[in-house]
A and B are shown apart, each in its own frame.
Chain A
Amino acid sequence: MSLFSVCRSMAEWTATNLLIPVFNFQAGLFPPFSNPAGSIADWLETDGGLNTLAWTYAVNIAFMIGMTNLILVIHLERKIAARIQDRRGPMLSLRSFRELGEDLAGEAPTWKFKDNYSGIGIVQNMVDGIKAITKELIVPAKADRFLFTMGPVIFISSSVFLLVLFPLSDRFAASSAPAGLMVIMAAFSIAPIGVLTSGWASNNKYSMIGGMRSAAQLMSYEIPLLLSMAGVFLLAGSFDPVTIVEQQQEGTWFFGLPMWNFIPQFIGFVVFMICILAEVERVPFDLPEAEAELVEGWTTEYSGIRFMFFLMAEYIRGFAGAAVATILFLGGWAGPWPVPPEIWFLIKVYLIIIFWIFIRWSVPRIRTDQILELGWKKLLPLSLINILIVIFMVEIYPYFSDIVNLPEVF
């Protein structure tokens, strides 16, 4: 009973009842409308065709779940930020539509602000989306039109690609790549190309500087990021998320709690959290897009839906980063019954995201040269030390286990 089996049965149902009759009807028409409909109908009856259709459905479902989570993450960020700052945050909700209707009809309002204003504010996101779509798309006069358009495309497409790559549990996976996590990290790393392209194509000194700073930061934090993950890969023995989560289920410590990877790999966990914050460019590492110094940095010249792409991509990457952290270090989707594993996974991801929101609104920014210094001089040696510890424990310690008796951590 996995995502794939559900999608496969959905595919069979739709293929037999909807698609194949349509294609067969089309084959009966006169050319040129008939080609190659017949062969499509034949192909849909085979295993390969049904599998393709099933995977299409699976990817769409995963994408929709990802996008819904994105709206929830954005909403959480605004509300928690507001509460930290002693205010309420977005309050626009369905109740506001009723209020608007009453106002337009000229009636007296039926609720007073002081009595019951518990609007949850989720409609604000929809309204912001509509605003972004309806704005004019401006391209600066001397900018490189093609690259100006391609920059956000590269950025958002690599980020959306991330959404379907990680499994929500062992039976809810829209991708079955055996090197799952490496593909995720590769998709993370496409982003600097988009950043540099947008910054350079804007024909603006500020954007160029911001783009270069951002690319320098992203590229220099890739290395400690991957090295800190290498420790987990060595322990688990594979890149597959399912294997990694299973490996974390073995081994227990206090009171029979399973030994998730953040305890033996504590240094790796800390390094990974810092590096993933720098990768998704959240405060305290968001100088490239800092408002105070370079207005918006490398996104200064963008407007409307293109700007929205950058914002969405940043939150999607944040979500994906938190998901990777959960799989690697926090036991993935493992949790006691009766809560289903998908919900456990999402709970853990949201806990990490809330932790990041708290950091973002409590801490000032770090300067770019200090960020780079931190990455190269402090995190890189730490992640190397982490790998050495892992290698020692996995490979060398078993040979000495009868002489020296370290606590049973692995």
Chain B
Amino acid sequence: MAEMWISMGPQHPMTHGLWTLKVKVDGETIVDADPELGYLHRSVEKMGERRKYFMNTTLTDRLCYASATTWTHCYTHSVEELMNVEVPVRAQYIRTIMLELQRLASHLMWAGAYMPDLGHITGALYFWRDRELFLNLLELPSGSRLLYNYVRIGGVKRDLPVGFEGKTERILKLFEQRLDEYADLFENSKIFRMRTDDVGKFTADQAKNLGITGPNLRGCGTKFDLRKHDTYEIYEEIDWDISTREAGPGYSDCFSRYMVRIDEMKESVRIIRDCFKKMPAGPTMASDVPVRAQGEAFRRTEDSRGEAMMYVVGDGSDRPYRWKIKSPMFTTISACPHYLKGYKLADVPAIMGSIDICIGETDK
């Protein structure tokens, strides 16, 4: 059979978002790939130039809707650097807790979307059932299940409700038990290993050159996590470890990337517990947040999917002059010919699922 281009998408059950992946196959083996984006481009950067600084937090939630708090936090962190605002300590603890809860919800969403790609529909329902627990938790302080607008410039919108710590502890205990149960169903399952071992390999050096960061890079064995290496909020006071896995010396495959995220979920549980132990009382919002800003600033944070950066330029007015968003998935998707070549067509969902794509942040 001759080589032909097969277009997966934009309407496709597998693609986790609205984009087109064209693969060139020779029989069953992939020879080339050509991704196309832009279906979800909402010109967030241009819109941000028209709105005032504090109005943009609603836009940033919608950048990656599966992991909304981390993007809002990246924006507010950059703007606080620009405006020289000091966030009170209690607000930093609350932000850390919300970020880690959001990371758990985002990883559970990814896992629940990854399982049906491999054919395991029960896995989807189990992971999304657990995600419901965390969405209910996130609803309590902020009032919304998916797009929170909770992290504001200078702190958080309001304090945690009474009883939040007890509820969180109960849910975390239940969640840990469930993760242990799922190990039998997923990691120790022979067929799951057959589908994900030695599939979608790339080395750490390739990843750094290609611009891949986050759990995908940690799956290659590189110990690099922005929460430790460019630390922000209160992460340096908390007792936690970076989780890395590798499929072999210096390279990753789908299974190691899967296991890295499961390990990260366990670490998030640890971080939340530690935060509750150490959290002081105090104000939750800075007392003087200016309205105008001048200069330029950038900050990078560890999003659920990689390194998220926001570069904000102010010209002295109350609206940003230029606001640039960096999404980790932008470069990862651009590199897809490198980790798709040589594998079979049936591996494409397994590989693209393990990369954890969210098109909202890619298309801005």
Contacts and interface: CB of A to CB of B under 8 A. Distances in A.
Interface of A: 81, 84-87, 205-206, 209, 283-284, 286-287, 290-293, 295, 361-370
Contacts of B129: 86
Nearest to B12: A295
Contacts of A363: 119-120, 189, 191
Contacts of B280: none
Contacts of A293: 14, 345-346, 348-349
Interface stretch (B110-118, B154-162, B333-341): B110-118
Given A85-B125, A290-B119, A295-B12, A284 B191 contact: yes
B235 interface: no
Size range of the interface on B? 20 to 34
A209 B125 CA distance: 30
A155 to B, nearest CB: 22
19 contacts: A81-B122, A86-B125, A284-B119, A287-B346, A292-B14, A292-B117, A292-B349, A293-B348, A293-B349, A361-B121, A362-B122, A363-B120, A364-B115, A364-B192, A365-B195, A366-B195, A367-B194, A367-B195, A370-B194
* Most chain A C-beta atoms within 10 Å of own C-beta, residue among B115, B119, B121, B126: B119
Contacts of B115: 364
Contacts of A366: 191, 194-195
Contacts of A283: 119
A3 to B, nearest CB: 40
Q: Is the interface of B mostly helix, strand, loop or mixed?
A: helix
Given A364-B191, A364-B192, A85 B121 contact: yes
* Most chain B C-beta atoms within 10 Å of own C-beta, residue among A81, A84, A292, A364: A364
Interface in B90-142: 115-123, 125-126, 129
Given A86-B129, A205-B6, A361 B122 contact: yes
A181 to B, nearest CB: 30
B169 interface: no
A368 B28 contact: yes
Given A287-B346, A291-B116, 7 more contacts: A86-B129, A290-B346, A292-B118, A364-B118, A365-B195, A368-B346, A369-B346
Contact of B347 (A85, A87, A367): A367
Contacts of B143: none
A361 to B, nearest CB: 5
Q: Is the interface of A mostly helix, strand, loop or mixed?
A: loop
Nearest to B118: A364
A364 B121 CA distance: 8
Nearest to B185: A362
A370 B190 CA distance: 12
Contacts of B123: 364
B267 to A, nearest CB: 26
Interface string B285-314: 000000000000000000000000000000
Nearest 5 Cβ contacts at the A-B interface = A365-B119, A364-B118, A364-B120, A85-B125, A364-B119
A23 B4 CA distance: 63
Contacts of B120: 362-365
A155 B195 CA distance: 30
A186 B345 CA distance: 32
Contacts of B12: 295
A87 B124 CA distance: 13
A203 to B, nearest CB: 14
B156 to A, nearest CB: 34
B344 interface: yes
Contacts of A87: 125
A286 B125 contact: no
A84 B122 contact: yes
A295 B116 CA distance: 13
Contacts of B195: 364-367
